[in-house]
């Protein structure tokens, strides 16, 4: 009987430690993921343009301007060129704001092929994302999302 109680106590302790560590790992660090269409020709697509943002609640012009600036910097470093007419890719962001301001719950960058408007790539960051300049989180999140764009 004592062996069963010790085993149960040990198992409970292991589960509590795991839950504590797993819970703390997500605090302050948004997770980023991406998905893409494997049949789309990314190497042949070197120009892009921005479409209007699609927030899920209210619009935040400062968030939109900052995400565009940061994403432009990342995209151009990867050899893509912004072009207003006849761009091969169309990029837009969507985001969900937190009610306290200066924080997002989610941010996604979406890319469609200019012909047909089919979604060909999406990067998503989920979790608490501080958008104030002092936090420095937004540049890391945007760079993290675009680290795998274009897919190899």
Flag whether the pTM goes above 0.75: yes
Average predicted confidence (pLDDT) for the chain: 82
CATH of 29-146, one of 3.30.420.40, 3.30.160.670, 3.20.20.150, 3.40.50.300: 3.30.160.670
Q: What is the pLDDT of residue 71?
A: 98
Q: What is the pLDDT of residue 20?
A: 36
For residue 107, which of 52, 61, 149, 54 has the smallest C-alpha distance? 54
DSSP 71-110: HHHHHHHTT-EE-SSS-SEEEEEEEEE-TTSSEEEEEEEE
Give phi and psi for 100, each to the nearest 5. -85, 0
Model confidence pLDDT, tens digit, residues 29-56? 899 999 999 999 999 999 999 998 787 7
Bridge partners for 91 per DSSP = 50, 111
Question: Which one is predicted more confidently, 26 or 84?
Answer: 84
């Amino acid at each position: 009987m004592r062996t069963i109680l010790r085993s149960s106590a040990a198992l409970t302790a292991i589960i509590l430690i795991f839950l504590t560590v797993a819970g703390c790992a997500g605090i302050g660090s948004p997770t980023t993921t991406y998905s893409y269409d494997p049949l789309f020709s990314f190497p042949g697509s070197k120009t892009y343009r921005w479409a209007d943002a699609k927030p899920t609640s209210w619009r935040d012009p400062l968030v939109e301007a900052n995400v565009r600036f940061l994403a432009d910097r990342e995209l151009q470093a990867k050899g893509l060129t912004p072009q207003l007419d006849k761009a091969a890719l169309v990029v837009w962001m969507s985001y969900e704001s937190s009610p306290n301001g200066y924080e997002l719950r989610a941010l996604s960058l979406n890319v469609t092929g200019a012909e047909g408007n089919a979604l060909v790539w999406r990067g998503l960051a989920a979790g608490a994302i501080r958008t104030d300049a002092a936090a420095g989180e937004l540049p890391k999140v945007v760079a993290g999302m675009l680290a795998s764009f274009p897919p190899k």
